[in-house]
Amino acid sequence: MPTDPRPAPAAEASPGVSAAATSVTADRWRRALAGLLAGVAGLAVADLVQAVLGLRAHPVVAVGEAVIEVTPGGVAEFLIDLVGRYDKPLLVGGVAVVVLLLTAAAGVLTRRSSLLSLLLLAGTAALGGLAVVTRPGAGTGDVLPIAVGLLTWVLALRVLVAGLSFPAGTAGTAPRQPEPAEQPTDQAGTDRRTLLVRVGAVTAVAALAGVGGRWVGRARTTVEASRRLLRLPATRGRVPAGADLTALAGLDPEPWRTPRDAFYRIDTALVLPTINPETWRLRVHGLVDRELEITYQDLVTRELTEGWVTLCCVSNPVGGDLIGNAWWSGVRVADLLAEAGVQEGADAVLQTSEDGWNCATPLTTLTDDRNAMLAVAMNGEPLPVEHGFPVRTVVPGLYGYVSATKWVVELEVTRFADVEAYWTQRGWSEQGPVRTMSRIDVPRSGSELPAGPVRVGGVAWAQQTGIERVEVRVDGSDWVEAELGAVPTDASETDTWVQWTAEVDAPAGEHLLSVRATDRSGSTQTSARRNVVPDGATGWHQVDFRTS
């Protein structure tokens, strides 16, 4: 039977399959763009948070620094030779591009699984967090921009993909395309408008955050530049011989002088005030004979007083680290109040910060022989912005909530009966003298040590009184008197903490070490545990350790 020599006609391509494949590809691109936009928004918000909090470790920069650390020297030299002075901008830009590519991939993954998309975003953020916390001087708080950025990624991506045509879980298959009659034109238009509104909202968030971050960062940069150019007649202060027992007691990194980067920071400022010293003014008014307005130049040309002062936060728990010791330089508040002429009946000074925070300080603590000052320098350098630049108050012997006003701009001489300050409105005591306290720094709780003699050490403080004696004991045995480090021999000898060290016997087993201090008035630190509210914690500091 003859056969037809003509080739069989090719099978016609299915219009439905072709359209579906095209639609799948288009949907992937839309989700990738959604992930990319969410990534931009997250980076912008993280940048804003980092600028507002004044954190050194910017997430993208931290990752770049980590990349530098793990790059072999030969490779690094080759790349530097290749791109020259553009190496760092290219590295930072490359990190940002990789992050955005990962967020774009997370957008594509939403077609398959929302969980996989979330895991990719979380993994990206985790790598950034690891890079941040490994930077020198970084703390756990430095991961906050990454945490907020991750939340922005997740929320923005969810908003952007919610209205796309392929819901999560429909990978590889196209849903049946509705006939024109099944999807009215006005409905399609509404869906497009909704999507455009969502894109516009996320874009607006990214733009506002980006502009805000640049503005805050630029203001901080300008003030930091002004700060670095200042030349103040302030000294660095000499640590008294025999005061620092770090080598003997193994207290490092808890030196007698607290470095700037290790000094605790507690305040209510969400955005660090950035004050140009040329525009700073201090107003002294209220129950005074003459109201004063003092410029920064006026202040720093006056005679400076200097001294060692340990500052402690009332929120510091027993054994806590919200305490630091530094050499402060400034102008005595007593001299300014004498110039203004304090009127009879006044018993308080309401201090006000640039950011609106205030505290009421007993007038007597600002006018007696203690070294209460308007500080302009810390450890020989102009105040750091986070510690009150250009001017803050330092009052020995008082907790910070009633005395230590950063970015101070106003002193109002008044009466306690007529004012109520920020923290006293919230249940804290009107007066806030620092309590006699002691702390164990070595060993740390949970330490494993060789059995036998164990060297222990820490710090103790009793401002305006001074430490007479520190004692330690193990497991309720007899108290052993510790060796005390030296303190300054000038007027600040009672205004600083003192380091202590002792040797205790610890046979093999579990142990509990306790410490107590006695001040020069003969008052011994109580064992009764009490919370920080309303005027500071009490109780002995104790640590557990094991020997074998």
Q: Is pLDDT above 80 for 488?
A: yes
Nearest partner of 375 among 472, 443, 307, judged by Cα? 307
The Cα 95–Cα 487 span in angstroms is 50
Range from 264-273, 290-299, 495-504, 524-533 carrying the lowest mean pLDDT: 264-273
Q: How far is CA 322 from CA 233, 251, 265, 378, in A?
A: 29, 17, 8, 17
Would you state the structure tokens that stand for residue 414, as one six-digit string? 């008044």
Nearest partner of 438 among 419, 423, 454, 459, judged by Cα? 459
Q: What does the pLDDT read at residue 78?
A: 64
Taking residues 100-120, report their average pLDDT: 90
Q: Is pLDDT above 50 for 176?
A: no
Taking residues 25-37, report their average pLDDT: 87
* CB-CB contact of 387 with 453 (8 Å): no
- Residue 273: how many CB atoms within 10 A of its CB? 20
Computed from CA positions of residues 336, 341, 344, 349, in that sequence, does the dihedral angle turn out positive or negative?
negative
Using only the alpha carbons of the chain, give its radius of gyration.
Answer: 32
For residue 110, give every residue at least 6 positions away whose Cβ sits within 8 Å of its Cβ, in sequence order, or none.
Answer: 31, 34, 35, 117, 157, 161, 168
Would you state the structure tokens that stand for residue 191, as one six-digit string? 């869906």
Tens digit of each residue's pLDDT (9 = 90 or more) over 412-423: 999 999 999 999
Q: What does the pLDDT read at residue 329?
A: 97
Tell me the whole-structure pTM to 2 decimals: 0.68
The Cα 317–Cα 537 span in angstroms is 6
Q: Where are the domains of the chain?
A: 17-172+185-222, 246-426, 437-547
Q: What does the pLDDT read at residue 434?
A: 96
* Superfamily per CATH, domain 246-426: Oxidoreductase, molybdopterin-binding domain (3.90.420.10)
In the block, tokens 């660095």 appear at 236
DSSP single-letter state for residue 143: G
**What class has domain 437-547?**
mainly beta
For residue 214, give every residue at least 6 positions away whose Cβ sits within 8 Å of its Cβ, in sequence order, or none.
Answer: 51
The Cα 461–Cα 253 span in angstroms is 18
Taking residues 262-267, report their average pLDDT: 89
The Cα 400–Cα 127 span in angstroms is 37
Q: What does the pLDDT read at residue 202?
A: 79
In the block, tokens 């901080």 appear at 220
* CB-CB contact of 463 with 365 (8 Å): no
Taking residues 56-61, report their average pLDDT: 71
Residue type (1 letter), 427:
G
* CB-CB contact of 88 with 96 (8 Å): no
- Output the average pLDDT for the chain: 85
Percent of the chain that is helix, strand, coil (3-state, to 5): 40, 20, 40
Taking residues 326-335, report their average pLDDT: 97
Tens digit of each residue's pLDDT (9 = 90 or more) over 141-160: 788 888 888 898 888 888 88
* CB-CB contact of 276 with 295 (8 Å): no
Q: What does the pLDDT read at residue 174?
A: 43
In the block, tokens 């650390």 appear at 69
Q: Is pLDDT above 70 for 188?
A: no
* CB-CB contact of 459 with 439 (8 Å): yes
Helix axis angle for 144-161 and 114-133, nearest 10°, is: 160
Q: Phi first, then psi: give them for residue 312, nearest 5 degrees.
A: -135, 140
For residue 193, give every residue at least 6 positions away whose Cβ sits within 8 Å of its Cβ, in sequence order, or none.
Answer: none
For residue 282, give every residue at least 6 positions away whose Cβ sits within 8 Å of its Cβ, in sequence order, or none.
Answer: 292, 293, 294, 299, 374, 391, 408, 409, 410, 411
Range from 16-25, 37-46, 221-230, 450-459 carrying the lowest mean pLDDT: 16-25
Tens digit of each residue's pLDDT (9 = 90 or more) over 82-108: 766 566 677 778 888 998 999 899 989
Helix (H), strand (E) at residue 337: helix 333-340
18 pLDDT band, cuts 50/70/90, is low
Same fold, 246-426 and 437-547: no
Q: What does the pLDDT read at residue 182?
A: 46
Residue type (1 letter), 111:
R
Question: Which strands sit side by side in the sheet containing 358-362, from one edge to the other?
Answer: 292-295, 281-286, 408-414, 348-353, 358-362
177 pLDDT band, cuts 50/70/90, is very low
CB half-sphere exposure, 538, CA atoms < 13 A: 11
DSSP single-letter state for residue 293: E
229 pLDDT band, cuts 50/70/90, is confident
Q: What does the pLDDT read at residue 166?
A: 45
Q: What does the pLDDT read at residue 517?
A: 98
Helix (H), strand (E) at residue 504: strand 498-506
Taking residues 470-493, report their average pLDDT: 92
Taking residues 2-29, report their average pLDDT: 62
